[in-house]
Structure formats: C-alpha cells, structure tokens
C-alpha cells in the first residue's frame, strides 16, 4: 500500500522534533509533523527554557548584594517584570523560529494544527485532512494536573507563569516536586513573599533524603515559608486576593496561587484506545523498550509515555526510534543513570541512586562533605554546599552522586560520565583536585561518614 508519508509525528516538542528530523534528514524518510500550539513544545515554550531564564533573573538581587561585599558600589533597583517578560517572549519566538527552520531544512512537512489517530496508518487533522502514514509517532507530551478542589479555577499552573500580567506581592506555590520548588525559588528571588505547601513530609520526593533536607533548609533560611504536611482544602476569592483554606486549619491570603502538583500525559482524545493502544493508570501510552505500542505501526516517545519526564530523555527516545525504524540501526534507550538538576536556590544536581535506594540493594559507604564555599563565605553568606558520593561497599563503584550548591547542575553533568562508565571510589580518589574549586571535594573525601 502506498502511504502519503513514511512517518507522521504528532507533537512538535523535544521528542517529536528530534524523531522527525533524524528520520527525514538521516533516514531519508518522507515525514510530516502536526503541532497544535507553538513549535518547540513544553521545554522551549513553557518549561525548561523560560524557567531557567527566570531563575537567572531571580539570582540578581543576591549577586548584587554579594558584589557589594566584594567592594562594588551597586544597589539593587526595582525589577521590571514587563520588560523581562517582553524580552523572554522575544527569545522564545527566536527559538521557535529556529525549530521551524530545523524542520524545514530537514524537509519535514509541518501542519500547524491538532492531529488525532484514525487508524493504525492514518491521522486526521483538525482541518479535516486525512494523511496516511507507514508509521505514526505519538509525541504529545504532558500537561499540568490540578486536583479538583473548590476554587481550583482561581489558581494558575506553570503554563501561565511566563505570561503573568504583573508579579504578585504574595504567592502560594502548592506542590513539592521540582517544578513547584523551582518556582518557589524564582518568586522569592524576584522579591515575592513566597509560601509553599506540600502535603508530604519533605519536598523533592524521590531525590536523596540528605540532599532534599539540605535544599529545603536553605530555602527556608532564605525566607521561603515551606509548610510540609499541608494541603489546600479550597480557594476563595476575597476583595484583596485569594484565600487558601488549608488542611492545617490556617486561612491565608495570597495574590497568586500556583498549582504545581504533577503532570499528566496528553493521550486523551487522540483515538488511541479504540485502536488497541494500551494506556496506563494516568493515561500514559504503554510502550516496550523500543517505544513501540501494542499497535506495531504506532510508537510513542517523551512525556506521553511517562517514563522519565525530562527533555534530554524525550530527545534520546525520539532519536532511538528514528535510528531503529528509519536508519536500520536498532537502538534501545537506556533509562538508567540519567543525571538531572533542580534549579532551586541552592541548586541540586543528582545522578544515580540515592543513599536510601542504594542501601536497599546492599552494603554501601557514604562519603559526604558540607562546607561554606569561598565565594559566598567572603560575601558574608552562610550558605553551605553538600557533596555526596554513595559507594557500593563490595564493588567500590560509585552508585550515586548528589551535589547541592551553586553550579550543581553543571558539575553533575561531568560527574555522570565516570559514574556511567562504572568508576570506583578509588578512580575518583586518583583524580587530582582542581584547586580552589567546590568540585575538588568530590575527589578528596577520604573517610566514609556512614557505612552499612
């Protein structure tokens, strides 16, 4: 049977764009892609990129205060949110244009509309057009999940954070994951009185406990009011703002309530279940190691599969799919040992097993150091850095590395290379320190702080 295209990709985010480009430019495939919103997807338009730029913006008051301690005669002025937002929008438009250019350069046919799956080999565009394809890739990502509480419509999600008409004076962030915690840090850094509610016992669930405690303590010391074991019962509009009635019996008023309480895969209404594509409990598209669904001509990559929801993972899954199906290079993406960063202040960089997860597998040694780094100590700040290695007692392999402090995201990227190669603690010890740096601590910790 002759198909209109070899591959139809639904979703122009990190995973879909990579798969489309590789299949077309390197696999020689005829590729079409539908995007219902802006090209680039969550990461570029409403995720990693605008968020990190907001983190940068929020760092300046501290940097200016530090500059004064270093002898510079500078004063923090007022933050012009509208000016920043305009510049941010211009940057996102530039990136969107670059993404479109990449796809056009690869010969991918772009449809700026919603697409749904009609049968195993055809998609229907919202314009009414039907396109047949030998392969279909679902790369529709995810969206914020807001629990159904009274007044939920008064809250915003991360999607709206980049378009706020004005910065609030008082903000409540609900949630304890990395997105919630990062936004709490951003708002605080921009001068907003920030409160964070999380129903669990400690923010950043799933990360190393010691690292979580370190980040949480530092955020609170900086002035963010973190209330764990606390959830919102209802939100009410008041003359002065939004009242949050909480499970701890308190009623506090805010100007902005941000819900960052998880995300759900965008799989509803795509027509997948009717075709026999299996969906999981949260609507995630169930795939095998090759990102293939129960329908052989339909694959899925990225957040819609809810495996590890990070941009580089979506990109690698999309690339592996294109290599396998269109380049004759069967490639499985390995989801183990994925390094990541949380851009709170202080920042957290992590790779491999937490101390808790490693201990559950067998005897370990834990090497950890906390200290006040030279740069901020000089400026009179009490901030402490945490450097931590989790080592398998038998094989001596470094199973996990957790860093809290300035530049942790940059450092963990490099630490992930030897750890991925199976480096032992002795390999780390043999490495000569780069002095004076914070990272030298990673190769100079001689005695375990805990064993067992």
Ligand X SMILES: Cc1cc2nc3c(=O)[nH]c(=O)nc-3n(C[C@H](O)[C@H](O)[C@H](O)COP(=O)(O)OP(=O)(O)OC[C@H]3O[C@@H](n4cnc5c(N)ncnc54)[C@H](O)[C@@H]3O)c2cc1C
Q: Does 15 bind ligand X (CB under 6 A)?
A: yes
- HSE value, Cβ hemisphere, 13 Å, CA-based, for 197: 22
- Whether 435 sits among the annotated catalytic residues: the reply is yes
Q: Does 43 bind ligand X (CB under 6 A)?
A: yes
Token couple for 377: 């100590």
Task: Choose the stretch contacting ligand X; rule: CB under 6 A; options: 34-42, 231-239, 400-408, 420-428.
Answer: 34-42
292 vs 309, which CB is nearer to ligand X?
309
In the set 6, 42, 156, 204, which binds ligand X (CB under 6 A)?
Answer: 42
168 vs 302, which CB is nearer to ligand X?
302
Q: Does 11 bind ligand X (CB under 6 A)?
A: yes
| Positions 309 through 348 that interact with ligand X (CB under 6 A) | 309-312, 314
In the set 7, 12, 27, 277, which binds ligand X (CB under 6 A)?
Answer: 12
User: Strands, DSSP E only, in 177-220?
Assistant: 193-198
11 vs 349, which CB is nearer to ligand X?
11
Alpha carbon distance 115, 221 (integer Å): 48
Map tokens 């764009």 to a residue.
17
Shortest distance, position 365 Cβ to ligand X, whole Å: 30
Shortest distance, position 245 Cβ to ligand X, whole Å: 26
161 vs 385, which CB is nearer to ligand X?
161
Angle at 326 between CA 320 and CA 332, to 5 degrees: 25
Catalytic residue among 188, 227, 402, 435: 435
Cα diameter, the chain: 74
Could you tell me if residue 407 is left (phi over 0), alpha (psi between -120 and 50 degrees) or otherwise beta?
left
How does strand 385-392 pair with strand 348-352?
Answer: unpaired
Neighbours of 180 (CB within 10 A): 24
Alpha carbon distance 299, 291 (integer Å): 5
In the set 22, 139, 186, 244, which binds ligand X (CB under 6 A)?
Answer: 139
Q: Does 115 bind ligand X (CB under 6 A)?
A: yes
158 vs 230, which CB is nearer to ligand X?
158
For the window 213-252, what string marks contact with ligand X as x by the rule CB under 6 A? ----------------------------------------
Distance of CA 393 to the CA centre of its chain: 32
Shortest distance, position 124 Cβ to ligand X, whole Å: 10
Shortest distance, position 434 Cβ to ligand X, whole Å: 26
In Å, how far are 185, 271, 396, 437, 450 from 370, measured between CA atoms? 21, 52, 22, 14, 14
Shortest distance, position 405 Cβ to ligand X, whole Å: 17
In the set 96, 284, 303, 441, which binds ligand X (CB under 6 A)?
Answer: 303
Report the interhelical angle of 48-69 vs 81-106 (nearest 10°): 140
Q: Does 14 bind ligand X (CB under 6 A)?
A: yes
Exposed/middle/buried for residue 314 (C-beta within 10 Å: 0-12, 13-18, 19+): buried
Exposed/middle/buried for residue 35 (C-beta within 10 Å: 0-12, 13-18, 19+): buried
Number of residues counted as binding ligand X (CB under 6 A): 36
Task: Choose the stretch contacting ligand X; rule: CB under 6 A; options: 43-51, 54-62, 198-206, 249-257.
Answer: 43-51
Q: Does 54 bind ligand X (CB under 6 A)?
A: no
N-terminal to C-terminal alpha carbon distance within the chain: 62
Task: Choose the stretch contacting ligand X; rule: CB under 6 A; options: 72-80, 113-121, 237-245, 389-397.
Answer: 113-121
10 vs 155, which CB is nearer to ligand X?
10
Alpha carbon distance 278, 285 (integer Å): 6
Alpha carbon distance 45, 287 (integer Å): 26
In the set 266, 291, 344, 354, which binds ligand X (CB under 6 A)?
Answer: 266
Shortest distance, position 136 Cβ to ligand X, whole Å: 12
List residues bridging with 401 in a β-sheet.
351, 389
In the set 48, 295, 393, 443, which binds ligand X (CB under 6 A)?
Answer: 48
Judged by the rule CB under 6 A, the positions of this chain that interact with ligand X are: 10-16, 34-37, 41-43, 47-48, 51, 114-116, 139-142, 158, 179, 266, 270, 302-304, 309-312, 314
> Which residues have a catalytic role annotated?
435
């Amino acid at each position: 049977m002759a198909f209109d295209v070899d591959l139809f990709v639904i979703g122009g985010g990190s995973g879909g764009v990579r798969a489309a480009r590789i299949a077309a430019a390197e696999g020689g495939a005829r590729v079409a892609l539908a995007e219902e919103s802006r090209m680039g997807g969550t990461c570029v338009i409403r995720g990693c990129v605008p968020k990190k730029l907001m983190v940068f913006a929020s760092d300046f008051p501290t940097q200016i205060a530090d500059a004064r301690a270093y002898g510079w005669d500078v004063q923090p002025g007022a933050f012009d949110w509208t000016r920043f937002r305009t510049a941010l929008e211009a940057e996102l438009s530039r990136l969107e244009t670059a993404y479109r250019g990449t796809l056009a350069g690869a010969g991918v046919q772009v449809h700026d509309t919603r697409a749904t799956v009609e049968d195993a080999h055809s998609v229907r565009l919202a314009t009414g057009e039907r396109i047949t394809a030998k392969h279909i890739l679902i790369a529709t990502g995810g969206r914020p999940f807001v629990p159904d509480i009274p007044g939920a419509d008064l809250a915003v999600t991360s999607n709206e954070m980049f378009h706020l008409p004005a910065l609030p004076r008082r903000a409540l962030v609900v949630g304890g994951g990395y997105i919630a915690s990062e936004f709490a840090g951003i708002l605080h850094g921009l001068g907003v009185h920030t409160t964070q509610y999380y129903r669990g016992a400690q923010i950043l669930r799933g990360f190393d406990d010691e690292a979580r405690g370190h980040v949480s303590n530092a955020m609170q010391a900086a002035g963010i009011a973190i209330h764990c074991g606390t959830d919102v019962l209802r939100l009410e509009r008041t003359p002065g703002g939004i009242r949050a009635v909480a499970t701890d019996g308190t009623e506090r008023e805010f100007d902005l309530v941000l819900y960052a309480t998880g995300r759900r895969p965008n799989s509803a209404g795509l027509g997948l279940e009717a075709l026999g594509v299996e969906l999981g409990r949260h609507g995630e598209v169930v795939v095998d190691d090759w990102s293939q669904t129960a329908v052989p001509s339909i694959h899925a990559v990225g957040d819609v599969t809810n495996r590890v929801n990070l941009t580089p993972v979506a990109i690698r899954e999309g690339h592996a799919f294109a290599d396998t199906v269109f380049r004759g290079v069967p490639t499985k993406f390995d989801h183990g040992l994925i390094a990541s960063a949380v851009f709170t202040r202080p920042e957290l960089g992590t790779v491999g097993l937490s101390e808790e997860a490693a201990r559950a597998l067998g005897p370990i040694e834990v090497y950890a150091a906390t200290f006040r780094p030279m740069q901020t100590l000089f400026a009179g700040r009490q901030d402490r850095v945490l450097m931590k290695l989790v080592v398998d007692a038998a094989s001596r392999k470094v199973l996990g590395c957790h860093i809290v402090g300035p530049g942790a995201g940059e450092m963990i990227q490099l630490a992930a290379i030897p750890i991925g190669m199976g480096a032992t603690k002795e390999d780390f010890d043999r490495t000569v320190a780069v002095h004076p740096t914070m990272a030298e601590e990673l190769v100079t910790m001689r005695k375990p702080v805990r064993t067992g």
